[in-house]
Structure formats: C-alpha cells, structure tokens
C-alpha cells in the first residue's frame, strides 16, 4: 500500500490529465453539441426545466455566459423559453422536442464510449469508482 501522499499525488495528476483532454474529446465526438451546451441541455432535461440563474449557480458560470449559451441553443431550436406567469423577470427554460432528441443521441453515444472504456472492469470496481468520484466532487463543491 502506497503512502497517502503518493495516492493524492496520483489522483491530482490523473484528474488534471482528464480535465485537460475532456473538452477536445467531447468536441471531436460531438461537433453538434459542445461539452458546455450538452451539460446545460442535460441539466434542463434532468430538472424538467429551470432558470438561467439556476444553471449559472450550478455550473459556476457567469450569468452572461449562460445567457449566450442559451441563446445559441435556442437559435438551434434545442431550447424554448416560457415566461413565468408569476414573475415576469423569470424565463423557465425547457428542451424542445428536437433538443431532447439530439440530447438523447449524444447521451447514447457518450454512454457507449464510456462503456467501451470501462468494458473490462468488473462490477465491484465500477461501483467503487463511481462512489469515489461522487464523493470527490461533493467535497470539491463543499470546499470550492
């Protein structure tokens, strides 16, 4: 068993390497929907609609960034805005039929890529890895 410091060092290096590559990989795999757009659209789908402000808070993005991303998704016909009748400042965002369809395609293809990468892992390892990642990200959210 390696010393605690060595493990932390490895985790740091590997997480960094992964992050460095994620965007390029995503762009190569899905030119029609960038990593950011995908994530935002997936969140809308998952939450059955939410506000731009919620997206910004959840992904640590500036509201202007979200505003432009949403505008782009709307232009592509992937997202629609419904003004909240109780508060006219608020726009509740939803994936359109078309947006949901594209999202489903990209999700399926991403899922397949992950399945390929993890094909030779046994269930115990998969389960543990998933748990560790969730735990790590939760800690990061908590600590900034």
Partner DNA sequence: TAGATGTAGTTGTAGAGTACAACGTAAGCG
Partner DNA sequence: CGCTTACGTTGTACTCTACAACTACATCTA
Binding residues for its own copies, per CB under 8 A? 1-2, 4, 6-12, 14-25, 35-36, 39, 59-61, 110-111, 113-118, 121, 123-130, 132-137, 139-140, 143-144
Report what 72 binds from DNA, its own copies, none; CB cut-off 5-8 Å by kind: DNA
Strand partners, 51: 92
**Is residue 20 involved in binding DNA (CB under 7 A)?**
yes
The CB-of-49 to its own copies minimum distance in angstroms stands at 19
The CB-of-75 to its own copies minimum distance in angstroms stands at 22
CA distances from 25 to 11, 20, 35, 120, 139 (A): 20, 10, 9, 21, 26
Query: Which residue is it, tokens 């762009």?
Result: 27
Cβ-contact 43, 50 below 8 angstroms: yes
Report what 63 binds from DNA, its own copies, none; CB cut-off 5-8 Å by kind: DNA
Rounded Cα gap, residues 131 and 95, in angstroms: 29
**Is residue 42 involved in binding DNA (CB under 7 A)?**
no
Cβ-contact 48, 60 below 8 angstroms: no
Contacts to DNA from residues 81-100, by CB under 7 A: 87-91
Residue in 81, 82, 76 with CA at minimum distance from that of residue 103: 76
Q: Which residues bind DNA (CB under 7 A)?
A: 20, 23-24, 34-37, 51-53, 60-72, 87-91
């Amino acid at each position: 068993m390696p010393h605690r410091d060595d493990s932390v060092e490895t985790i740091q290096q590997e997480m960094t390497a992964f992050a460095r590559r994620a965007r390029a990989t995503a762009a190569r795999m899905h030119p029609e929907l960038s990593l950011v757009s995908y994530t935002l659209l997936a969140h809308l789908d998952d939450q059955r609609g939410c506000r731009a402000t919620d997206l910004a808070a959840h992904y640590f993005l500036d509201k202007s960034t979200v505003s432009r991303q949403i505008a782009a998704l709307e232009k592509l016909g992937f997202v629609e805005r419904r003004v909240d009748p109780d508060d006219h400042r608020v726009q509740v965002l939803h994936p359109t039929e078309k947006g949901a369809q594209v999202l489903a395609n990209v999700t399926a293809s991403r899922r397949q890529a992950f399945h390929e990468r993890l094909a030779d892992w046994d269930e115990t390892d998969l389960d543990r890895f998933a748990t560790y990642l969730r735990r790590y990200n939760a800690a990061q959210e908590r600590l900034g």
